[in-house]
Amino acid sequence: MTPEEKIAEEKRHADLKNQFKEVVQEGMKPVSEKLDAIEATQKEQAEKIALVEKTPVNGAPAYVSSSKLHCGRSISKQGRVLREALAKGIIGKGTFDYAVGYDTAGFESEEQIDDFAKGMIDFIEAKRNMNPEAMQRLHDRNMATKASMQEDTPSEGGYLVPDEYQWEMVKLARNRTFALQECTVLPMAGSTLKLPTEASMVTVEWDDEEGQIGQKEGTVGQVSLTAKRMNALAVASNELLDDSAIDIVSMLTEQFGYAVALEIDNQVLAGTGSPVSGLMEGTTGTSVVMATGSAHFSMINFDPMNEASCSLEDGYLANAKWVFGRTAKRYLRNVKDTDGNYIMVHPSATQSGTIWEHPYIVSEKAINTSAVSTVEAVFGNLKQFYIGRRRGIMSLDVDPYGKFDYYQTRFRIVTRWGFAIANANAFVSVVTAGS
């Protein structure tokens, strides 16, 4: 072996020896760390024993506890600091009474001091970090130990009882909406949708031999849906958005959606021409006028409704329904036979939900104000009322800057809808008399 080869071999052996040493040291690291932890624990226990030995005979016993955590904080540390402070007279008994609902005069065991330490940690977590679980534990502790104090008086316990926030809002009434479920809803790819309709049917005839066949074709019409914008705007203070336990944005979205559906009902029944004239605005193919003198909603009975239900062609009756308001329903329930029995339904009986065999819908958007020559009820096949959805999928747009100087946020929804009565002859209305 040449001198150069010998030097190279010695270097290789030295490198292998160093690598082996590094591997051993790396493997021993967890053991060293565990030994360090044991040494630290022994030192802590020695300090506690020394504290016990220094405590006067008539003093409080020193606190000795295993290392435990509560909310990530050391329970033993909290207890040790407390006992040292009590033993040295730095604090008086009862000092923390209003903080966590405990009287420090009662500490006679490790368990009690442990419990107090947990209460102190909860107090820190609730005050500094707004920890909701710590708040709840403090609330429960105070309710259990402060029964003799007065919640209504802040200085006597009122501060101990936090304000309670329910994750539910007291909402306004939501009335039933029907149009989007009962009418024919069509998607619109543009601002206008034109639909062909049957204006008249083909007719047939009987002819003699060699007689000429007459031209009796059906005719075709057209109905047009033009999309118009329906939108809304709402403003909320940023403080409300920050502080409320309620999801305000979800609440606004739900309100917007409900308002859109309710306004569609309004257009179907009581629209005044923009964007559509509703079914209660004289657009039905047939009208049944109540008897002379019956110029008020209270004079309605089932005779004109029977006539109305028989005025539609049989083909429209399969899906036909009644639509009227709460006022009409009230007076219909008042109708009695000659023996004084209620006709529509007995007060103690189950509501049938039909009038002359057809279902009815009570809508908040139906006309409820009585007057002469006023539509009180509509009967017909609602599938013959078309609703075009140009932009019906509602999105909530947020503007945090439009009212920047007021520290408010604006919310907006925009939708686009088109309306048209496909066949007026599919509907008949019941109208109060003119005098």
Q: Is residue 427 part of a domain?
A: yes
Mean pLDDT by 10 residues, the chain (435 residues): 73 70 62 65 65 50 56 69 57 43 51 72 71 72 48 50 53 83 93 85 83 78 91 88 74 86 95 94 95 94 95 92 95 92 85 89 92 96 94 80 90 93 95 93
* 295 assigned to some structural domain: yes
Domain range for 12: 1-46
pLDDT of residue 65: 47
Structure tokens at 342: 């209620």
Closest CA to 64 of 113, 15, 128, 4: 113
Report DSSP state, residue 404: G
d(C-alpha 377, C-alpha 429), whole Å: 6
* Residues 6+ positions from 78 with CB-CB distance below 8 Å: 116, 117, 120, 121
Residues in CB range of 205: below 8 A, 6 or more apart:
213, 214, 216
Residue 280 covered by a domain: yes
Q: State the total domains in the chain.
A: 3
Q: How far apart are CA 431 and CA 3, in angstroms?
A: 123
- Give pLDDT, residue 30: 63
- The strand ranges marked E within 327-426 are 354-355, 358-362, 375-381, 385-391, 396-399, 408-421
**Within a domain: 403:** yes
Characterize the bridge pairing of strands 375-381 and 427-431: antiparallel
pLDDT of residue 146: 43
* pLDDT score, position 32: 64
pLDDT of residue 217: 72
Indicate if 149 and 281 belong to the same structural domain. Answer: no
Residue 401 CB: number of other CB atoms within 10 A? 9
* 3 and 146 share one domain: no
CA distance linking residue 76 with residue 67, whole number of Å? 6
Are 91 and 185 part of one and the same domain?
Answer: no
Instruction: Note the pTM of the prediction, 2 decimals.
Output: 0.60
Residues 192 and 124 in one domain: no
Is residue 226 situated within a structural domain? yes
Predicted confidence at residue 176, as pLDDT, reads: 84
pLDDT at residue 131, rounded to an integer:
76
User: What pLDDT, on a 0 to 100 scale, did the predictor assign at position 397?
Assistant: 86
Cα dihedral 132→135→141→143 (10° resolution):
-100
Length of the chain: 435
Same domain (yes/no): 146, 190? no
Domain presence at residue 346: yes
Same domain membership, residue 94 and residue 26: no
8 and 149 fall within a common domain: no
> What is the model's pLDDT at position 53?
54
Q: Are residues 287 and 254 in the same domain?
A: yes
Residue 408 identity (one-letter amino acid): Q
